[in-house]
Structure 1
């Protein structure tokens, strides 16, 4: 086939023969699916992938002439492929012309009539290709139609989600500003009271006895009305289809368990890190809790993986992944840049949710039930999800790692 003619029948985007070809305003033609996906999310007006001319077109009609030209060209290409020496039947040295519906293999006529295949359904390869292509195109149209219905719903949901987070952020900022103003005012009063107490130390015994009752009363009143710290919490907003999307890559994780209450100090290290911000000076508490550590038996190096872990009723737990060599038996290292963990850490009588590394506070609701972990080696990113709420907890930016990762789960009872 003439190469120039073949080029005219080839989609510039997919570099394959045109499928359901459409022609846009500038005259260039593409597969309908290719141009729709290419223009999805593009600026309005979109541009032709070849000449870069703008186009306001949003609806497409199949170019029947091109479609009729592509069909024989595709058949000729198939015949040329099947006639090649590499595709000849190795047993009978015949051209493969038949397709077996049961085994999904290409066969020559003699093989199709053999004892192995005589009870199977067969048809010519050309007919099979056309039938399969018809079903694929039909399914593509159905999926495209459903996507066109769903896409604006998802965009509106995303818009509402972002708007809700924006409004929540404004409210939290107002709370923080109000709390800050109150704290400044209380701090001024405490300073004044401190100066007054210092002055009283220099008064005579009689004056001290006369004024002590009044200042004690005011001191108690001030202590009772001390402002409480603001603990902002962003609500978990559900994302349609989030869990279904991740569960396409769901795997069963086998863990190797071992209990270590002496050597692994993850939660205590995080507490020290948050309180002191100086790892060299942060002492490890002498009292040890009973910690239950679990490492995945398999280290992942490529692909996409998702699993869910039940977080128990303890205050302290951590889920995620770590570098294959990060945490071993008898190790006592604090969270490093080789860890991607979501932690719930008890501090006094409340909990803090954090991610590593670095250690960042997450101002969200505490997940109940299961936490999902999604690892994407294509983008080299890790994400955590609240399964019950179908909401995203935290996603690390792309290119966060370039080494094998091992699933990790850690819990402690204090």
Structure 2
């Protein structure tokens, strides 16, 4: 080794070159040789490692090793070989220049830290891509966890770089860093909150990728397409993207429609407003007329017998219609809608089916249809609901009822 160090130096001295110039020329020649060796060693190590990984990946059943190659992990590992050679040869190249040797060794140590970060980053990105291929993890916030690890990795790397540049002990550095933790907490507040939120979301299974959520405060109404450390991305139904701070998932209220998606139907909850003055008792003649409606003919017959029996038993004076028990056009219409919904082919019969009267309003009496469509797809759901209300609105006049409309509305008055 000593012969290599002095060989070119002695050669230049033999050519009657000044000692100082011989030392510089010796350093330049050795540095050039070292650079060539580093280039060749890097090329050979990359070829060997990449070939080994490719061969192993071809035989392996998992795609993890393929992802390692695509994220350049083997390529980064290959750089370790020339780095080791450089660290061993620097004292030889700069034997006559200790100051240069110190600087170059420092640069190589800094590069060593960065290289380790690159290698670990490649592995983390590989894990991220691999976990996303696992069906049970596709809807988990994998990005958040990887970003936290990357953040921690860079913080540790920056700490080692700072220690190398300043020469202080690593223990002293972290002791000082602990004293400055309050400032760091303030700087990384959103990141820390996002990390905590990501953990809670994953543990409590609050939100998954692919869930339909509604968050009125942020104008979000659509599918979750990404959950990372700082933001939650929601693709709204108009194809716009809403970015929501991840920590808002645990600090703000939102609606997750996953329960509906995983259930047997999608809820229909809408009312028809009936004019109160159109509600009245039914005469026998009107009842006979309504018996022609097949969905309620049996009901009307049975109901009429029960009412007649009751009124006879209690000697009700039916010269005044209000006396005794009676049927109303609204009650019969409500029963008709109930039977119609129960017989509708697009309604899930195993879930709640109800036609109910809500509290009166200044506009009239709301008659609400409450049921669940079997088809949960948005477009089909809207079609089913429209079909039901098309029929219901058209049926109203058959029962001598009227629908509330704002008769004195004028477009000019609304402007």
Q: What is the TM-score of this pair, normalised by structure 2?
A: 0.20
Answer with 1 or 2: which has the greater Rg: 2
Q: Which has the higher strand share?
A: 1
Q: Which has the higher helix share?
A: 2
